[in-house]
Amino acid sequence: MTDPSTRPGHDRLAGRYAIVVGGGSSAPGIGNGRATSLLLAREGAFVTVVDRDPSAAEETVAMIRASGGGAAAVGADATDDLGCRAAVERAAGPTGQIDVLVNNVGVIGEQAASAVDVDLAEWDATMRTNIRPYLLFPRHVIPRMSAGGAIVNVSSAAAIRGVERLQYATSKAALLGMTITMAAQHGPAGVRVNAVVPGAVWTPFVERRIEDDTVRAEQRARRRDRNMLRREGTAWDVAHAILFLVSDEARWITAQTLVVDGGETNMLTS
């Protein structure tokens, strides 16, 4: 797929201020957060890219600026309340407003475990990293949002199907419940909250976990063939779903979960 961020935009987000948490990339290339940052900027938003790695955020910002967009980078620990508040204050527009928030933070963890054998320290660390930012950023953003504000929480297909890591699946499923309740609580103020559930998307984060070239090629082919379309998903597919949900085209959509997986979670099994 060619880089969609280089295509002409349609000013769907012109004049709006957006935050993408986790908008850098853990390895060279285009991950979900970076692709989302690029697409929101292409559509006219001023994007503040927040990442725990300031250099990764700066790289995304450089790509946005090279395409003529507006952006700023903020290095922050998304699990720290004061750091989140400071990041939001830096991202606010001239009147103090924030229009769009995309939460894209998460770790998979190293341990494949069940409730019987999961390491409690890893459980606690996963919950802190995978859930806390989804509370802290809205905590400081929502008071700055007016009617029309939009939040998208990036979950995972692990939230809706059985996987080998209980701690990861549980944390990502929690985000879906959080999304619905936040939507109900803040809907009367005109703030929409939705979730995106990516499936087996091939990203730098996935690629860097597989060192052997032969194994990488085999796994990539297996992941592609597991979905109904027999087509590999990319970060751009996730980013386009997020762009839709934060745009005015989705003005009457809230408390929803949009699964972006080529139909994999509904595949027939023998």
Q: Which SS3 state, helix, strand or coil, does residue 259 take?
A: strand
Torsions phi, psi of 102, nearest 5? -120, 120
Give the contacts of 67 (CB within 8 A, at least 6 positions apart).
5, 6, 38, 41, 42
Residue partners of 112: CB distance under 8 A and separation at least 6: 164, 165
How many residues are listed for the chain in this entry?
270
Are 88 and 99 in contact by the 8 Å Cβ rule? The answer is no
202 secondary structure, DSSP code: -
125-128, long-range: CB within 8 Å, 24+ apart, which pairs? 126/167, 126/168, 126/171, 127/167, 127/170, 127/171, 128/79
Instruction: Show which residues are catalytic.
Output: 168
Burial of 6 (0-12, 13-18, 19+ CB in 10 A): exposed
